């Protein structure tokens, strides 16, 4: 069964850095090994949306998400995280070292 999860993260509030971050995430720009690692972790679908300096990730994940990745995929994932780190700013309520924070669904039209 697929689950939908949402995560939030802020970007450094700098128009040039935000534009560069978007270019790094454009179709075909993400390193192929990063995409393979995302799938290996159990992501079945993912979108990242932006307003201002706030990002929202909407993900559909497998029942066994998150799966550990090893070897080259883990190494490339770590390099990507470092490369993207200069653009990202933790949310004010994040613990030290936390980036993408899970969000809690508080409303569903289907449940009304």
Instruction: Say whether 103 sits in a helix, a strand or coil.
Output: coil
Q: What is the pLDDT of residue 69?
A: 97
Spans of the chain below 70 pLDDT: none
Q: What is the pLDDT of residue 1?
A: 74
| pTM of the predicted protein model | 0.93
What pLDDT, on the 0 to 100 scale, is given for residue 2? 83
Give how far Cα 46 sits from Cα of 13, 42, 61, 111, Å.
Answer: 24, 11, 9, 24
CATH label, 3-104, candidates 3.30.70.100, 3.30.420.40, 3.40.33.10, 3.40.50.720: 3.30.70.100
Predicted local distance difference test score (pLDDT) of residue 8: 98
- Domain limits, the chain: 3-104
Three-class secondary structure assignment of 17-61: HHHHHHHHCCCCCCCHHHHHHHHHCCEEEEEEEEECCEEEEEEEE
């Amino acid at each position: 069964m697929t689950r939908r999860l949402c995560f939030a993260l802020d970007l450094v509030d700098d128009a040039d850095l935000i534009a560069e971050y978007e270019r790094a995430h454009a179709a075909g720009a993400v390193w192929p090994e990063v995409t393979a690692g995302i799938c290996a972790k159990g992501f079945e679908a993912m979108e990242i949306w932006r307003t201002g300096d706030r990002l929202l990730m909407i993900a559909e994940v497998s029942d066994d998400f998150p799966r550990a990745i090893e070897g080259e995929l883990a190494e490339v994932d770590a390099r990507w995280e470092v490369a993207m780190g200069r653009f990202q700013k933790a949310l004010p309520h994040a613990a030290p070292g936390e980036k993408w924070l899970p969000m809690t669904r508080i409303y569903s039209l289907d449940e009304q």
